[in-house]
Structure 1
Amino acid sequence: MNDKFFNEIRLGNLEEVNKILNDSPELVNTIDQRGSTPLILATYYDQTEIAELLLNKGAKIDAIDASGNTALMGVCFKGFSGIAKMLIEKGANVNERNSMGATCLIYAATFNRVEIAKLLLDKGVDTTAKDTRGNTALDHAKMQGVPELIELLNTEG
């Protein structure tokens, strides 16, 4: 059942995911073979409606995968600003850190996600957080050579 459930999430089959959850509500916070929760998987595949369904059914918004990443971290990496906005509005922790000390803002800066960085800054994200190598989001923006992010983060710091 778990494999089918996770596959339906990947495929974006909202009705089937809802049906499975109605039959087996305990699956909402289960973990797949790669260490991802249904919410993390849905957000990774840009499945906004399924992500909202999972949250409405009790998915833990700040649950982590095998690398210590939350759903919000994943969308900051992938660049899915619509899901990022939804997760932030629903209370995702914008300052969570993974096993490497990376934060949502560090991911946004590293992968040139200006719109997401602005969402995080509007939410009051910690701009001084450093990863395990001692780099802040501004340091990552400079390493990537992203003028708009450098300017944006310079004004925040």
Structure 2
Amino acid sequence: MKKIFIAVSLFLFSFILYSQDITNSETSQNDILTNSSNEFFDYIEKGDVTKVRELLRQGTNANSTNSEGWSALHVAVKSNNAAIVKELLSQKWIDMNPVLPVDTILMEGDNKWYADGQTPLLLASYYGYADIANMLLSYGADVLAKDSIDDAMAVHIASARGNANVVSVILDSSAARSSGIDIVNVGDNTGTTPLMWASMNNQITVIAALLKFKADVNFQDDDGWTALHFAAASDSYRAVEILLKNNADANIADIEGKKPVDITTDTDIKALLNKYTSAAETENNTTEKAQ
């Protein structure tokens, strides 16, 4: 009986030591992976493409994320390093459409931009990195990917931010042409088009670019607002002016019956809109009398 007890005790002691060895080995391995991952992201942020390539060849996962939940591709895009973006995109199993985690905020001074759900393409569109946006699209990034805030696509974000070069890259891409979607007039979750996003932010160069790509200047969102409504509400005189010169209809009313002139608080814009509204009404009255 004593021999059996001793044998069992020795077995249990050996098992405990073996388990500790496994645990220690796993902990050590996890530490190595963590350190490797930290180095990986450090090199991406520093723009060291040689070290990034070396770590990838040693088996570092190209789809790994940092402590904030950003993918390697997101970090490379934010760092505006096209060489590293290309290196990551060339990896066989790379995910080209990972998304930023919930509560991601991009800061520029005191300005906040909520970036939940943004893919690398949306992030490149936010920053205005046209070459990187073009590269992502050429490798197959989803041109229709949406964020988790407004269902905004890359074209909406680039339009709001005034990144006309990115807008042109997107609309000129084969991805856009083969998408089956009229991307220049696509709406977000409230039907707000890229032209409306640009108009509410007084992005004149983007407005011009979108009009070149045949944006519908009189398209209405879910509330009946046109780009002219947004420009008027934002007191953006130049935006109102360029829209009117490109056949924006100042007489279109929203679902509450309000025209752009009813929304603006700027006296100069109101005077400009009144001129176009009056001209339109006069033309209608003249036509009715002739009939």
Query: What TM-score does the superposition give when structure 1 sets the normalisation length?
Result: 0.90
Deviations 1:15-66 (A, max 9, x none): 1121122124541123232211111111112222211111110112222111
Q: Is the 8 A contact 2:88 2:94 kept in 1?
A: no
What is the total number of aligned residue pairs between the two structures? 157
**CA separation of 1:152 and 1:103: change in aligned 2, threshold 3 A:** same
Structure with the greater alpha carbon radius of gyration = 2
Q: Please give the alpha-carbon distance, in whole angstroms, between the structure 2 residues aligned to 1:127 and 1:25.
A: 42
Q: 1:38 & 1:25 partners in 2: Cα distance?
A: 16
Report what 1:119 is aligned to. 209
Structure 2 Cα separation of the partners of residues 9 and 143 of structure 1: 34
Match of 2:152 in 1: 69
2:161 maps to which of 64, 75, 78: 78
Q: Deviations over 1:62-84 (max 9, x none)?
A: 22111211111001111111111
Alpha-carbon distance between aligned partners in 2 of 1:56 and 1:15, rounded to the nearest angstrom = 15
RMSD (Å) for aligned C-alpha atoms:
1.7
Q: Could you tell me which runs of 5 or more consecutive residues in structure 1 were left unpaired when the two chains were aligned.
A: none
Structure 1 segments of 4+ aligned residues over 3 angstroms from their partners: none
**Distance in 1 (alpha carbons) for counterparts of 2:241 and 2:128:** 29
Query: RCO (CA 8 Å, sep 6+): is it higher in 1 or 2?
Result: 1
- CA–CA distance in 1 between the matches of 2:161 and 2:93? 28
Q: Which runs of 5+ in 2 are unaligned?
A: 1-63, 66-70, 102-115, 177-182, 249-291
Q: Normalising by the residue count of structure 2, what TM-score does the alignment of the two structures yield?
A: 0.51
Identity level (%): 26
**Post-superposition CA distance 1:92-149 (Å, at most 9, x none):** 4111100122110001110001111111112111122222332110011111222222
Which residue of structure 2 aligns with residue 139 of structure 1? 229
Match of 1:21 in 2: 89
| Residue pairs, 1:83-98, within 5 angstroms | 83-90=166-173, 92=176, 93-98=183-188
Aligned to 2:244: 154
